[in-house]
Amino acid sequence: MDLDDTAARLGVPVEEVERVHRLAVDHPSAPLPARADMPALLDRLGVPPDDAAEILAAWPDSDSPLWTPELRWLLDRSTALVRADLGGHEWLPPGPALPRERGPAWRHLYVYAYLALVDVTRGYHRDHGVPDAVSWATLADLGRNLAVDRRMRGEGWPVMQSWLTLHTRGGLYELGRLQHQRGDTIGLHVPDAGPLTPEAVTASLDQARAFFARHFPHERHTEFSCGSWLLDPQLREYLPEDSNIVRFQRRFELEPYEEQEGLDGDVEVLRFVFRTLSTPLDELPRRTALQRAVVDHLRAGRHWQWRRGRFPV
């Protein structure tokens, strides 16, 4: 396949198509599940009804006019690219960001790649003795992220595209309140899944200690780490000392602040607190102490920080 022509038809830089080709060449893809099995699988993955209907309507059947040769190539090769790094736990873009306005096949191409990899991921989990409950809870983050993306009118997907490859490669596990990413440290992520109470956090950390020792005994973790706007100490200027966020912060020793390339603290806060990047500050809700803190801080001309911290396992 001519990579320059493929890139032009996809409307993306040729360098991104060349990267997919280079990383996926000579690696097998994975077949999509049968369409008839999809309603039950999508439900198990927590996919909301509106998204499930759209995914099924644009299913990549062989005779679907929605799927051009270059889209089919990208679906096959991006799936192979991710599968080739099974067991990896670093961020991995599965392919270029596509012009989503062209239709549901373009909008959900990487969702189809995720669905094609579910059986591969489940096999990896079984090989490591990961319980079914943990496996499905982890993979169901797909539905949570699709709901966020719909709410944000597509502004959430640039985060999801690489984020979800952690799940499919066995690099991340949802254990109670927190998600835990394998690596030199156990990386903590905080999904949008209810209050961040100290009791729920402690239980999740205890579960992670036992989980990684049992299922990945060759990996030696000495620290938990987290990179998030939740660790910005400026939040303490607005939130009470007994708030869940402040108590979460107290667990960590912060690293010195450095601006992170590609990470804008203000954008991260708005994305996670309000699920919007385009609503004017004066129109954002002020129902909670956190919402009021975010708005007041930004209206004062100040900026939020993305901070990293750690503490011993």
CATH number of the domain residue 244 falls in: 3.40.630.120
Residues 196 and 151 grouped into a single domain? no
Residue 165: name the closest of 42, 41, 82, 75 by CA: 82
Is the model's pLDDT at 157 over the cut of 70? no
* Token pair 């440290």: residue: 185
Mean pLDDT, residues 169-180: 98
Helix%, strand%, coil% for the chain, nearest 5 = 55, 10, 40
Say if residue 88 is in the same domain as residue 224: no
Same domain assignment for residues 165 and 36: yes
Given pLDDT bands bounded at 50, 70 and 90, which one contains residue 60? very high
Q: What is the dihedral of CA 51, 175, 41, 215, to 10 degrees?
A: 140
CB 146 within 8 A of CB 109: no
Residue 88 and residue 154 in one domain = yes
Identify whether residues 21 and 76 lie together within a single domain.
yes
* 175 part of a folded domain: no
Angle at 35 between CA 32 and CA 38, to 5 degrees: 90
**Considering the domain boundaries, does residue 143 fall inside one?**
yes
Q: What per-residue confidence (pLDDT) applies to 257?
A: 93
| Co-location of 143 and 191 in the same domain | no
**Is 48 part of any domain?**
yes
Residues 58 and 195 grouped into a single domain: no
Show the domain range for 47.
1-170
- Taking each helix axis from N to C end, the angle separating 49-57 and 141-151, rounded to the nearest 10 degrees, works out to 90
User: Measured between alpha carbons, how far apart are the two ends of the chain, in Å?
Assistant: 49
Structure confidence at residue 196 (pLDDT): 97
Contact 181, 187 (CB under 8 A): yes
Instruction: Evaluate whether residue 176 is within a structural domain.
Output: no
Helix (H) or strand (E) run with residue 122 in it? helix 109-127
pLDDT of residue 253: 98
Which residues 6+ apart lie within 8 Å of 114 measured at CB?
A: 142, 164, 167, 168
* Strand, coil or helix: 2: coil
Query: Rounded to an integer, what distance in angstroms lies between the CA atom of residue 51 and that of residue 32?
Result: 17
The model's pLDDT over 190-209, given as tens digits with 9 standing for 90+, comes to 999 999 999 999 999 999 99
Q: What is the pLDDT of residues 281-300, one digit of tens each?
A: 999 999 999 999 999 999 99
Per-residue pLDDT tens over the stretch 210-236:
999 999 999 999 999 999 999 999 999
Q: Which two tokens stand for residue 245?
A: 């966020």
- Would residue 150 count as lying in a domain? yes
- pLDDT tens for residues 69-127? 999 999 999 999 999 999 999 999 999 999 989 999 999 999 999 999 999 999 999 99
Among 120, 136, 170, the domain boundary falls at 170
Q: Is 132 in the same domain as 188?
A: no
Q: In angstroms, what CA-CA distances link 170 with 49, 129, 215, 302?
A: 26, 12, 11, 39
Residues 158-170 have a mean pLDDT of 90
| Cβ neighbours of residue 32 closer than 8 Å, sequence gap 6 or more | 60, 112, 115, 116
Could you say which of 115, 149, 170 is where a domain stops? 170
CA 131 to chain centre: 21
- Give ∠ CA 89-164-83 in degrees, rounded to 5: 60
The mean of the pLDDT values for the chain is: 96
Does residue 34 share a domain with residue 138? yes
Task: Tell me how far apart the alpha carbons of residues 97 and 119 are, in angstroms, rounded to a whole number.
Answer: 25
Which residue in this structure is represented by tokens 């729920």?
A: 200
- Residue tagged 């835990």 (tokens): 180
Give the CA angle between residues 269, 271, 273 to the nearest 5°.
60
Q: Are residues 138 and 187 in the same domain?
A: no
> In the chain, how many domains are there?
2
What is the pTM (predicted TM-score) of this model? 0.95
Q: Where are the beta strands (DSSP E) in 23-171?
A: none
- Whether residues 19 and 157 share a domain: the answer is yes
In a domain, 210, yes or no: yes
Same domain, 88 and 215: no
Residue 295 is predicted with a pLDDT of 98
**Looking at 138, 170, 202, which one is the last position of a domain?**
170
Residue 153 confidence (pLDDT): 84
Check pLDDT > 70 for residue 158.
Answer: no
